[in-house]
Amino acid sequence: MALTNTQYESIIKGYEQTRDYNRRLSEERRQKVYHLLPAYQELENSVSSISVSQAKLMLNGDDSALDNLRTTLAKIASQKKALLESAGLPADYLEPIYDCSLCHDTGYITGSDGMKEKCSCFHRQEIALLYEQSNIQEMIAKENFSTLSYEYYQGEDLTRFQRCVDICRNFVQNFKQDYHNLFFYGTVGTGKSFLSGCVAGEILQGGHSVIYFSSSGLFDTLARYSFDIKSKDALYNFYKDIYNCDLVIIDDLGTEVTNTFVTSQLFSLLNERHLAKKSTIISTNLSLEELRDRYSDRIFSRITSNYTICKLTGPDIRMYKKRNSNLVNS
């Protein structure tokens, strides 16, 4: 998949608006400082005249002029910092303001090869546009750690759910430095998709890219692109996204029509993401035995070897809530 011209222009326009807003904010801060601290403005104004005078000395052969300029500018910077702090302002109060410190709100950075490439913040926006059909934003608005509740679980079911919540919080906390995968399985309505949503929301807030797909939606998309000769570019870009995205969530594995195409595509996805050390979360209503019987031994081995297995049991919470709602409305 690739951005349309309209989508690309929308992102670029957003960067322009961000830069304009931050420039206005910077100027407002500067005028505030000049009003509070006239001496600060005087110091800033002195920099240009001092630089010019020292440049003249350098042209006239004064070898110490450059060192003197550096010493003077460092002293002025120290005085400016002291003035800001005396007014209760942070020392970096007048530094340029950027939403993204990597690309300075341009959307592009210079890669290791010296070529311009899309910044991670651009990729996040790109993915949000390309995969808005997954309704992930709507999902995480309702399914997040702030709405998490233990009231629907008792006994061993509660113990299992608490363990899974702890695993999810640890997954989020260590996401930047550690490579982990999660596999949620168990009976219907026990919180598997809910916990996936909790993790997705936290990872997105941390500035990482997340792609969420129902299992049927993922493999339908792959099949549509794979069997359409006109969609080679779209298929290539789709693979690039799902292989390289920071976190991929596959919900309800087993609800798709399973065949050799699905099995091979699933193995490729799991294998490529594992090799790239990119995290994946899978949820399913299948038991481990059903998982092994439905998919290849290679897939079963990949999951059981490389994923933290989380079993959830208990009542169907969705049905429980629906019954309670009907009682309240009756």
Domain ranges of the chain: 131-329
Write down the pLDDT at residue 208: 86
pTM of the model: 0.70
Q: Alpha helices, DSSP H only, in the chain? A: 5-36, 38-59, 65-86, 120-130, 136-142, 155-173, 192-205, 215-226, 232-244, 260-275, 288-294, 297-306, 317-329
Tell me, what's the pLDDT at 131?
67
Q: What is the per-residue pLDDT for 1?
A: 53
pLDDT at position 206: 85
282 forms bridges with which residues in the sheet? 183, 250
- The per-residue pLDDT for 251 is 93
Which stretches of the chain score pLDDT less than 70? 1-2, 4, 131-135, 320-330
User: How does pLDDT run across 288-303, given as a tens digit for each residue?
Assistant: 999 999 998 999 999 9
Q: Phi/psi at 248 (nearest 5 deg)? A: -115, 135
Please check whether the domain covering 131-329 is classified as CATH 3.40.109.10: no
